[in-house]
Amino acid sequence: MLKQILTGKHYIYWLALLGLGLLLEGMALIYQYALDFPPCVLCIHVRLWVMLMILVAGVGCLVYKTKLPNGLAHVLMAGVMAGMLERAWLLLGTERGFVLSSCNFNLGLPAWFAPDKWLPSIFEVQATCGYTPELFFGITMAESLVVMSTCLLLLSTALAITVLASRSE
């Protein structure tokens, strides 16, 4: 069973990603509502990627037994992590000043996809970009998101290759 978990062929792996996604969304809401750190547009983009992470992990929990769907779920998760890494990098760059970015209150999404209108308590932009809160030991939210999404991108890519290249069904 441990081998299956470590190779992404067990529901516990996907359940762990699902739990991590829910934890990240919960922490974001705690920082927003309890600690009064309103989200910027890049923060909301990261939240959208985390929601997609939750959805893909949920699907992974259902298809982990079958090679091709499980492998495709790992590929999708790698894509989600790449998207989240890109947004986290922009957030860090804006915070540190090595990315010159204008950040406004418009999510920049198509009219048919309006999560800020559907669930404003979660996805409404409430601040301009420029800083993220410190989590612990001087590490900011942007820094931790870059590290976490990089690690998960590498893991998801490795597991996609492992699952799709394996001989067993």
Please write the tens of the pLDDT for every residue from 90-145: 888 887 777 666 677 777 777 888 888 898 888 888 877 777 777 888 888 888 99
The span from the CA of 57 to the CA of 70, in Å, is 10
> Which CATH superfamily hosts domain 2-109+121-165?
DsbB-like (1.20.1550.10)
Backbone angles phi, psi at 73, to 5 degrees: -65, -40
Is it the case that residue 8 has pLDDT exceeding 90? no
CA atoms within 13 A on the CB side of 147: 6
Element (H, E) at 32: none
pLDDT of residue 55: 96
Over residues 157-169, the pLDDT tens digits come to 998 888 888 766 5
Asked whether 49 and 84 are in contact (CB, 8 A), the reply is yes
The span from the CA of 33 to the CA of 67, in Å, is 42
pLDDT of residue 83: 95
Nearest residue to 108 (alpha-carbon basis) of 92, 132, 134, 90: 90
Q: Model pTM?
A: 0.86
* Interior/surface letters 72-106, b for 16+ CB within 10 angstroms, e for the rest: bbbbbbbbbbbbbbebbbbbbbbbeeeeeeebeee
pLDDT of residue 9: 67
Asked whether 87 and 46 are in contact (CB, 8 A), the reply is yes
Average pLDDT score over residue span 45-66: 92
Give the number of other CB atoms < 10 A from CB of residue 54: 19
Confidence band of 147 (pLDDT split at 50, 70, 90): very high
Average pLDDT score over residue span 27-49: 90
